[in-house]
Structure 1
Amino acid sequence: MCTVGQSLTGDFAAKSITQDLERLVKRKSDVAVDALPEMEKKLAVECLAVLINYLDFMSDEANFNKFCLKTFDISRYVKLDTAVVKSLNLIPSTSDSKEMCLYKLLNNCKTVSGQRLLKQWILQPLVDVNKIEERLDLVEVFILDSLIRQTIHEQHLSSLPDFTKIAKKLSLGKATLQDCYRVYQGLSKLPDLDSTLDEYTGEHRVLMNSVLSSELKELITDLSKFSALIEEVLDMDSVKTMEFLVRADFEEALGEIGEQMKALEKGMDRELQKVASELGLEAGKALKLESSSHLGYFLRLTRKDEKLIRNNKNFQILDTKKDGVRFTNRKLSKLSPEHLELKRSYQKLQVDVVTEVIKVAGGYAESLYRIGDLVSQLDVVISLAIASTNATLPYVRPKMLPKGSGVAELKELRHPCLEAIDVDVIPNDCVFNAENSMFHIITGPNMGGKSTYIRSVALTFLMAQMGSFVPCESATVTVVDSIMCRVGAGDSQLKGISTFMAEMLESSAILKAASESSLIVIDELGRGTATYDGFGLAWGISHYIATELKCFTLFATHFHEMTALADEVPHVTNMHVSALAEMNQMTLLYKVLPGVCDQSFGLHVAKMVNFPERVLEYARHKSQQLEDVESHATLDSLSSQITEEVKCARRKERIESYDLLQGFSDRLKELSSSTPSDILTGVEAIKQEMLQHGNSFIRSLASC
C-alpha cells in the first residue's frame, strides 16, 4: 500500500544527488555517475532526489553499492491513467475492498510475489505483440493440461516462500537464520516442480523450456551451494522447536556450550521419567516435557490427571489451560534456568557466526531474485489459466494484431466481473474497422447497459494485452498504446473540483495524450453543465477524435443529436441499447444493435423506481412542452436525423409489437398440454410466423 503525500519545491533541488548516487549505485565500470546517460534526464533526477530523501537511504550503509540506475521504458506498456484504473475497477479500491474488480477475478495466485506480479500485469499491459503471444502461449499450456496445472498450483506453489522479499533482505544484510531456512525449504521443493514441468510434451514445449524449465534447472544448480551452506551451519534439530541456532560443531566455543546444554537436557529428561514413574503415567504421552520463552522448561499433563499433583508439596502448578496443567518441581526448577542461561550465551556467541553466514548468503541474492521472478511468472500464468477455465463460460484466446492494424472484432462479448457475481450478462458484439467503423455513438435508456458495454470492450482489450484469455466467443484485437476513459466522473470537494470540472480535466487529458493507436471510452460527456453547452462540447470533442485522432472510440450519450455526426464522418456509426416501451411500461433488453434510439426513456425509469404519480404527470406535461418548442429550435434543425414521420411509424410499430406479443402469449398457453418436443416445434413455428410481419421490435427481441 502506498501513501501519497506532498513534497516541497525545495525537495526537488538535486544538489547532492550525484554524491548520493556515487555511494548508492553499484557500477560495473569506472564511469562516474554524473557521466551516465540517465543523469541527463533532469526531471527524473530531481524526482529521484526526493525519493532517496523520503526513503532515507543515506542513513543506512547497508544500502551503499546495492542499486543500479537505468531508464524505465514506458513505451513497452499500455498507458493507463488513474481515471482508467478507477472506471474499469482494475484493482481493489480503498473505499470498498469487497467490491468485485479485475484483480480479484483473476487472482488465483498461491504466492505473495505472484499476487504482486499479477497486479503489475494488470496495470502494465504489453504493447509488443510477440511478448503478448508468448504469455498467451504459456496460459494456453496450463488451460489445456489440467493435470500439470493442478499439480503445480496445489502441491508446489503453495509451499514456496517469497524468494524476492528474502533476497532483498539478504542483499541489505538484514536477513535472519530463519529467512535462510525458509529459502532452504523452498529450494528443496524446486526439483519436484522441475520434474512436473518436464512432463509437458505439447506444442509449446520449446517455449516452456526456454522460459521456465531451462532457467529453473540452472538456478537449482546455482543455489545448491546455498542449501549446502545452510545444512552445514544450521542446527536442524533446533528448527523442530522453531529455534534457529548454529550447529554446535560449527565452532569450538559453541561446541562446548552445546555439550553443557545437552547434559542439562538429559538431566531434565531423566526427571521426566522419574516424575512419570512416581505418578504412574506414560512419559511423552500422558506426561510431557515442554518449554516456552517465559516459563522455560516445565511438565504438562491433562486436566483430568490434575488430581495426581493436587496438594502434593513436591510439585508447583504454574498455570492451567485447555490443553492441560503445566507444573514443575524442585529439580526441574533448578535445571531450567541453567539451560536458559547457557542458551543465551550460545545465541550471543553465534551472532558473529550468523553475521558472516548472512554475508556469504547475500552473494546468492541475484539468483534468488531470478528464482522469485520465475516462480511469480509461473504463478500468474496458472492463475490466468484457472480464471479462464473456471468462468461461467470459458474464456477464449484472442487473435492479436500489431499496432495500427485498425481492426477489432469481439463476438458475444461479456463483462467479466458482472459474470463472476452471478449476474445474467447479455452478450454483445463490437466491431471496429478503419474503413467504416472506428467511432461508435451509443444511445439508449438509463440502466440499458451502455456503460457496461463500453467498459466490457475496454476490459477485453486490457485483458488481451496483459496476456489473458478474454470473455468472448471469439476475439480479434489490434494492440493499442493507451486506454483512455471518461466514465462516471464525480466532484472532489477537498480539491475544489466540481463534477463538470472533473469531466473537463479528464477530457482534456484524453485529447492531449491519445493517439491514432488509442482506445477511447467516453460516457455521458457534457452532463454537468447547461444542455446547449454540454452538447456543444460533446460534439466538438467527438468531432476532433473522429476526424483528427481516428482511433477506436466508444461514445455513450443521451444527446440524441450526436447521432448526426455519422452523416458527416464516414467511419462514425450509430448504435443503441434496445428496449421496448409502451403504456408507460419499459422492458430493457440489454442488446446493443445498429442504429439510433429514437426516444429518451427517462420518465419510464422514473416510473420504475416508483416516483409519485403527480410528479410523473407534471414531468410528462413539461417534457411535451419542451419537445414542441425544440422542434423549431436551431439545434434540432442542425442535427436531428429522425423525421416526425419516422417517429410516428416507430410508434405504430411498437403498438403492433405489443399486439403480436399478446397473440404469442395466448398461443403458448394452448401448447401447455403438449409434449416437450411438440412445444419446442410449436414455439419455433410461432416465432417464424411473427418474424414474417417484419416488425423491428420483434426482431430485436428475437435476437436476444
Structure 2
Amino acid sequence: MSSTRPDLKFIDTSSEANFFKKASKTLGEDKDPAINKVFKICDSQKDYFIAMNSFCDLVCQLIYKTTSIMKTRSDSQRYVTVSMKNFQNLMKMLLNLGFKIEIYDFDWKLNTSCTIGTVHLLEEKYGLGSEDQLVQTGNSSLRSDEVNVVVMALKIENGSNDNVNIGTFNIGCSFIDYTSDILGYTQFDEVIFFNNLETVLVQLGVKELIVPDNLLQVIKNDNFVKIIEKCNCLLTPITKNAFNFNEYESQSLKECILEENKDTLLALNNHKYSELILSTFQALLQYMKLENNSTNQYKKYYLMEYGLNQYMKIDQATTNSLNMFPEDNIDEIFGNESSSIVSSLYQLLNKNITIQGSRLLKTWLKQPLLDQSKVQERLDIVEFFVDNVEVKNSLRANLFSKLNDLFKIFKKLARYNNAEISLAQIDPVMDDILKIYNYVNVMPEILNVLNESISDENEDEETSASSGKDLIFSKFVKPMTQLMNPLNNLIELINSTIDIPHFNETNQVSFLMLDEDSELKTLQDKIDTLKVQISNIHASVGKTLNVELDKKLKLETQHQVYGYCLRLSRNEGKILRNYSKKEFIELSTLKAGIYFTTPELQQISGNIAKLEMQFKENQVIIITEILKVVTTYYTPLMKLQHLMGELDLLNTFAVVSTDQPPIPYTKPLLSSNLETKILKARHPLLEMNEQNRVIPNDVYFNSSSKCKILTGPNMGGKSTYLRTIATCQLLTQIGCFIPADAFSEVNLVDGIFSRIGSGDCQYLGLSTFMVEMLQISSILKTASENSLVLVDELGRGTSTYDGFAIASGILTKLKSIGCECIFATHFHELSDTDPEIENLKMLAHSKKEKDAKQNEITLLYKVGKGKSGESFGINVLEYVGFSPKIINIAKRKLQELEDEESQEYNTEGGKKFSKEEVVTILQKWKQDLSGKELTREIAEKLMQDVSENL
C-alpha cells in the first residue's frame, strides 16, 4: 500500500503497559478470526488504528502482504498500525468476506459494532466508500469494489410432517439489495439438506443472513450452518421476538417502496404465507434501521417477488470449480505474475467502462437466464455491437467514460440529511450536484449515437441485424427518452440557477440571479466592482514599475494567507527597493518570487474576503434547496444508471468476444430440439493465458446420448474439457458469445452442477471424501432432466473397490435422472457396466521402446470415442521430475500387481477371473435371465455352462 504506516506512541511506559494489558483482556485467547468471522481493531483517535495478535496476522495478509512490518513485544503480543486509507480498504475487504467488525477506543471499550447490513455506521463515522480508491492487486491498480450490501432475513416453520428431522420446512425470506434499491421476498419448501436455500444464497449473493436466535434449536441439525458457511455468508441471530408478526409494524414496508409497486404489496398481503414473509420483512427493516436512514426521504425500493426457478441453479461448488470470481489468495498462487494471469470469468468479462456495468456483471454471472427469448435478445444486442464497430467504440471511448457513479454520489449527499449544509461543504456538494448534471447531459449524445445506428438507411439489412436494431430501440432508446422527460426539468433548474461555464473555468459557484433586487445579486455586484479595481491596481503597478504584466508581474487571486496580492520574479524584485514601504508592502520572499501588495490592494482584498463570506452564507440557503430538489430525482436517475450499466455490459460482451481473445468468439444458436452441438470449444481462461496453444474439442448431447463416461490419462485434459462445457453453457445463458466455431448449438439447462476438483474443508471438519459425498448428494437431490451435471474423479478418496462401487451407483442414478451428464473417471471398468452409456476418452499416443518397462506417452488433449485402458500415472511422475529411484520402485510394484492380477492358477479345479471376465459373465447371465425367475436349477445350469466354456 502506498499509504504511510504510522507509529504507535504512548505518553509514558505506564500508559503503554496499561494499553496492552487491557488489549489482552479484551481480545482474550488468540483465535483465528477467519473461523468465527469477527474482527476487532482499536481506534487510536489519531487517524490510525491498531490491530493485535491474530487480527494483526489477518491485516498483514490482506493489506501489507508481508509479516515483516509486524512488531512483537516481550510478552509475545503482536501488533501493527493501520492508516485511515488502509483501514477503509481493510473494512471493505472484511465486510465483503462476511466479517462482523468491532471497533474499540484507546481504552479498549467497544465503540462501534457493525456487519455488512449495518455498514452505514462505518460510512457515517469513517467515510467508508466515500471516494474511489485504488487497491493494489499484483502489479496492477484496480478501483476497489464498494461493499455489496445484500442482506436476507429468514424464518422457518414446520412443514407438513410434524417430525422436522425427517420432514420438510416452510421457509419465508425477505432481502434487501441496497445497491440496486430492491426489496425482495420469496417462499419455498425445504428438506434437511437445504439445497434450495443454497441456490437462493448463491443467486442473490447474500452476504448476511438474519435469523431468529432459536432457529438452530428448531432445525436440530447442522446442515443449515454448513450451507451458510459454504456460501461465505455471515449468520446473525437476533431476538426471535423481532420475527413475531405485528400488523402495525408491517406497515413500515409500505413507506419504503415505490408507489408503482403497491400492486406487488397487495399480492404479498394476499400470499398464502403472507404472515411468514411479512414477519421477515419486519425483522429486516428493523435490523437495517431503514426508518432512521438519512436517505429514507427520497430513496424508495422496488418490491419484487423472487422465484426459486427464475434463474439457472448454480451451487457454490460450481461457482468455485468454474472460477467465476477471483480467488482471495490470487497473489499467493501466481506471485508477481498475478497481474498478467486471467484467473476468473469475472476478470475475463469485466472490461466495463462504468462501475454499474461491473456491478451488473456480478449479478448476471450468478443469475443466468432460463427464458430463451430473453437470452436471444441479449445475444442479438451483442451481435449488433459486434457488427457496428464504430458505434461500439464511440460509446466506450467518448461517452461511457463521462459517466460517474450516481449511487456513490447519492451516498455522499445523503450525509447532509437534507439539513442546511455548512460553508465548508458548499464546494463538495456543488461538485457532486454538477456530476449529476454532467451525467444527465451525456444522455442526448448517447441517444444520438444509438438513433443514428438504428436509422433505416440500409433497406437490404439482414433479419438478425434488424432484430438488433429493434432491440436497441425498445430496450434503450425508448426508455431513455421517457426518463429524460422529467430529468430535463432538473437540467433546466441547474442551468437557470448556476453559471455552469463559470464553475467549470474557475471551480467557483456563481448564481444566475434574475432578481436584480436580491441580496446575492447585490453582493455579487460589489465583489465584481472590487475585482475591477484590483485589475486596475495591477495595471497601475505594472506601469509604475515598468514591468510586463502577467509575465513578470502576476496577480495572485487565491493566496491562502494574503488573498489578493502581487508577485514579482526574484530577479525583478530589486525594483521594489527604489520605493518606500508606504507604496509597496513586501509580504514574503519565496522561490516562486517576491509577494507584495499596496495599501489600497490590501484593503480591497480584506473587503472582498468579507463580502465573499457573506456571499457564501447566502449560497448555503440556495444550495440546500437545490440539493433537496436534486434528491427528488433519485429514482429516475437510478433507473437511468441501470440502463447505462446494461448497455455498457452488452457492449463489453461484444468487446470481450471479438477484440480481446486470440480467436474471436461466435454467437451460439439456441437449440430448438433439446440438443447441444458445440464445435471446437475452447476454455476461455486457458486460451487467454496460453494463447494459441489450446486444443479445441467438440461437445455433443442429444436425446439418445445424454449420459457419457470420459476416461483418459492423468493430465490429459479431462477436467479442462468439463469446465469448457460448463463455461460455454454459462456464457450462453448470460447472453455472451462463446469460444467456439460458428453455428454451435446450445440447449438451455435449468442448472449446472459440478464436482470438479477436491479438497478438505478443515474449518468444517470435513475430509476430501466427505466433501465429495456431500457435493454429489446435493447434485442428486437437485438435478433434473434439464440439468447439466459434470463429475470428475468421484470416489478417489476411499479404497479402490468402495470407490468403484460408489461411482457405479451414482452413475446409474444420474442416467435415470436423464440429465446431460459427463462422468470423468479413472475407474475404466465403469465403461463396461452399461452399454447404453456413451464412452469418450482423452486421446494419447503411447509407444514402448525396447527394454523399456513403461510406455512413453504423448498427450493429445483431444476427445475421441471409446474407452481408455490406462491412466499413465507413472508417466506423470517422470513429467514433474520425480526422483528416478522413486519412479523405478513404482514401476516394479506396478509390474508385480499386473502380473498377480493376470496370473491364472488352479485351486480344486478352479480359476481366478479378471474383472473384465467377471463383467462379461455377468452381462451374459443378465441377458439369459431376461423375463425369467431365478431358481436354484437355473443358477446351477448357468455355473455349469461357464465351467464348460472355460
Superposition TM-score, scaled by structure 1 size? 0.81
Task: Give the letter for the 2:507 counterpart.
Answer: M
Between 347-356 and 16-25, the greater mean CA deviation after superposition: 16-25
What CA RMSD, in Å, does the superposition of the two structures yield over aligned residues?
3.4
Q: How far is 1:620 from its partner? A: 1.0
> What corresponds to 2:737 in structure 1?
469
Question: CA separation in 2, counterparts of 1:541 and 1:389?
Answer: 41
Q: In structure 1, what is the Cα distance between the partners aligned to 2:267 and 2:739?
A: 50
Query: What is the aligned partner in structure 1 of residue 666 from structure 2?
Result: 396
Distance in 1 (CA, whole Å) between partners of 2:716 and 2:562 is 69
Match 1:158 to one of 396, 401, 406: 401
Q: Deviations over 1:625-680 (max 9, x none)?
A: 233445588893588689xxxxxxxxxxxxxxxxxxxxxxxxxxxxxxxxxxxxxx
| Mapped pair 1:206 → 2:470 | yes
Residue 271 and residue 452 in structure 1: after superposition, are their counterparts in 2 closer, same or farther (change >3 A)?
farther
Distance, in Å, in 2 between the alignment partners of 1:395 and 1:430 is 16
Cα distance in 2 for residues equivalent to 1:406 and 1:426: 27
Q: Which residue of 2 aligns with 1:317?
A: 588
Pair 476,456 (structure 1): closer, same or farther in 2 beyond 3 Å: same
Query: Residue type of the partner of 1:384?
Result: F
Distance 1:598 1:30 in 2: 63
Counterparts of 1:21 and 1:471, CA distance in 2: 46
Shift of 1:138: 0.7
Instruction: Select 2:787's aligned residue among 518, 531, 534.
Output: 518
- Where 2:826 maps in the other structure, the secondary structure is coil
Question: In structure 2, how many angstroms separate the alpha carbons of the residues matched to 1:108 and 1:535?
Answer: 45
Shift in alpha-carbon separation, 1:56–1:206, aligned structure 2, 3 A: same
Are the aligned partners of 2:712 and 2:868 in contact in 1 as well (CA < 8 Å)?
yes
Partner of 1:36 in structure 2? 269
Q: Give, in angstroms, the shift of residue 170 of structure 1.
A: 7.3
Cα pair 2:840 2:865 within 8 Å, conserved: yes
Residue 459 of structure 1: which of 704, 720, 727 is its match? 727
Which whole-Å CA distance do the structure 2 matches of 1:410 and 1:481 have between them? Answer: 18
Q: Distance in 2 between matches of 1:363 and 1:609?
A: 65
State the alpha-carbon separation in 1 of the partners of residues 877 and 845 from structure 2: 15
Shift in Å, 1:280:
5.6
| Residue correspondence of structure 1 range 337-356 to structure 2 within 5 A | 338-356=607-625
Tell me by how many angstroms 1:599 deviates.
Answer: 0.7
Match of 1:378, SS?
helix
Alignment of 1:574 with 2:836, yes or no, is: no
Deviations 1:22-46 (A, max 9, x none): 5434556699889724693566556
Distance 1:287 1:522 in 2: 79
1:636 pairs with 2:915: yes
Q: Compared with structure 1, are the counterparts of its residues 346 and 84 closer, same or farther at alpha carbon in structure 2 (3 Å cutoff)?
A: farther
User: Does the 8 Å CA contact 2:476/2:643 hold for their aligned counterparts?
Assistant: yes
Residue 178 (structure 1) aligns with: 431
User: Cα deviation per residue 1:193-244 (whole Å; 9 max; x = unaligned)?
Assistant: 2222122245233222222222333333332211101112223213433344
| Counterpart for residue 126 of structure 1 | 369
Match of 2:285 among 48, 52, 57: 52
Q: Which residue of 1 aligns with 2:808?
A: 539
Q: Is the 8 A contact 2:733 2:748 kept in 1?
A: yes
Number of equivalenced pairs: 631
- AA aligned opposite 1:623: L
8 Å contact kept, 1:574–1:594: yes
- CA displacement at 1:51 relative to structure 2: 4.3
**Greater shift in the superposed pair: 591-600 or 45-54:** 45-54
Per chain length, whose mean CA-contact separation is higher, i.e. which structure has more relative contact order (CA < 8 Å, sep 6+)? 1
Could you tell me which residue of structure 2 aligns to residue 190 of structure 1? 443
- Contact 1:135/1:381 (<8 A) preserved: yes
What residue number does 1:696 align with?
none
CA shift in 2, pair 1:64/1:509, >3 Å: farther
Q: 2:174 maps to what in 1?
A: none
State yes or no: 1:441 paired with 2:675: no
Gaps of 5+ in 1: 643-704
Structure 2 Cα separation of the partners of residues 169 and 639 of structure 1: 74
Corresponding residue of 1:651:
none
Moved more, 236-245 or 71-80: 236-245
2:320 equivalent in structure 1: 86
User: Contact 1:317 / 1:327 at 8 angstroms: preserved in 2?
Assistant: yes
- CA–CA separation in structure 2 for the residues paired with 1:641 and 1:249: 99
Residue pair 1:23, 1:64 contacting (<8 A) in 2 also: no
Contact 2:402 2:439 in 1 (8 A): yes
Report the Cα distance in structure 2 between the residues aligned to 1:506 and 1:47, rounded to whole angstroms. Answer: 30
Q: Is the Cα–Cα contact under 8 Å of residues 250 and 278 in structure 2 kept in the other structure?
A: no
How far is the alpha carbon of 1:110 from its aligned partner?
1.5
Q: Tell me which protein shows more helix as a share of its residues.
A: 1
2:684 corresponds to which of 395, 416, 419 = 416
Q: 2:357 aligns with which of 114, 132, 138?
A: 114
After TM superposition, give the deviation of residue 133 of structure 1 in Å: 0.8
- Cα distance in 2 between the residues matched to 1:326 and 1:50: 67
Query: Which residue identity does 1:238 align to in structure 2?
Result: F
Change (3 A) 1:249 1:589: same
- Measured in 1, the distance between the counterparts of 2:785 and 2:867 equals 26
SS in 2 for 1:259: helix
Alignment-mate amino acid for residue 310 of structure 2: R
* 2:470 aligned partner, one-letter code: V
Quote how far apart the aligned CAs of 1:507 are.
1.7
- The correspondence for 1:368, drawn from 637, 646, 650, is 637
State the partner residue of 1:487.
Answer: 756
User: Taking structure 1 as reference, are residues 31 and 375 closer, same or farther at Cα in structure 2, changes over 3 Å only?
Assistant: closer
**Greater CA drift, 458-467 or 70-79:** 70-79
The alignment's TM-score, normalised by the length of structure 2, stands at 0.61
Q: Structure 2: where are the runs of 5+ without partners?
A: 1-91, 99-233, 332-337, 419-428, 457-464, 904-911, 922-950
Match of 2:250 among 18, 31, 37: 18
Distance 2:587 2:488 in 1: 50
Distance 2:594 2:810 in 1: 78
In the alignment, which residue of structure 1 is the partner of 2:941? none
Is the alpha carbon distance of 1:563 and 1:235 closer, same or farther for their aligned partners in structure 2, counting shifts above 3 Å? same
Q: Which moved more, 1:535-544 or 1:329-338?
A: 329-338
In structure 2, what is the Cα distance between the partners aligned to 1:287 and 1:112?
46
Distance of aligned partners of 1:199 and 1:238 in 2 relative to their CA distance in 1, 3 Å threshold: closer
Equivalent residue number for residue 615 of structure 1: 886
Quick one: distance in 1 between partners of 2:679 and 2:360? 30
Structure 1 residues 446 and 73: CA distance shift in structure 2, 3 A: same
Taking only the aligned residue pairs, the percentage that are identical comes to 31
Whole-angstrom distance in 1 between the partners of 2:729 and 2:252: 42
Change (3 A) 1:13 1:166: same
Residue 352 of structure 1 and its aligned partner are, at CA, apart by 3.0
Q: Within 5 Å, which residues of 2 pair with 1:653-672?
A: none
Partners of 1:292 and 1:534 in 2: how far apart?
79
| One-letter code aligned to 1:227 | I
The verdict on how the C-alpha distance between 1:292 and 1:614 changes in structure 2, with shifts beyond 3 A counting, is farther
The AA in structure 2 aligned to 1:255 is K
User: What SS class does the counterpart of residue 713 from structure 2 fall into?
Assistant: coil
Deviates more, 1:353-362 or 1:331-340: 331-340
